[in-house]
Amino acid sequence: MPIRLDHLIVPSRDRKAAAALLASILDVPWSEDTAAGPFSPVYVNDELTLDLGQVMGEFSPQHYCFQVSEAEFDLILGRLVDKGIPYRSTPMGPVDMQVRHQHGGRIVYWSEPDGHAWEILTSSYARVAG
């Protein structure tokens, strides 16, 4: 069996609100609780779960990237706009409400609600054929 990523724990200040928002942006299911611990899971797909965990105190914002189809990109970007969530064309730069065109695809970032850098892209730059 090939190695695959099963789940990640994502720190949040309000795990239920953060899970609900992320699930609504990505249009995927989520749950308020899980039997596996104090998490609110977001079921990204059949193979990956993001477990939003409540953190009391400070934590370092992380970067999470999802590769999506062109059609999914348009739908997710539309949901960001509809929800009034500011987005940008760079991982940590200023909010410019722009989509970056690079690596043969499109990229956009947002940071709601806990400061994490969330990214969607249509063409991976992490696995460039060489």
Burial class (CB in 10 A: 0-12, 13-18, 19+), 126: exposed
d(CA 70, CA 107): 11
Specify the CATH superfamily of domain 61-130: 2,3-Dihydroxybiphenyl 1,2-Dioxygenase, domain 1 (3.10.180.10)
Q: Does domain 1-59 have CATH number 1.10.3470?
A: no
d(CA 30, CA 49): 9
pTM (2 d.p.): 0.92
Query: What pLDDT tens digit does each residue of the chain (130 aa) get?
Result: 899 999 999 999 999 999 999 999 999 999 998 767 889 999 999 999 999 999 999 999 999 999 999 999 999 999 999 999 999 999 988 999 999 998 899 999 999 889 999 999 999 988 765 5
Q: Are 51 and 9 in contact (CB under 8 A)?
A: yes
Q: For 52-72, how does the pLDDT look when each residue is reduced to its tens digit (9 = 90+)? A: 999 999 999 999 999 999 999
Domain ranges of the chain: 1-59, 61-130
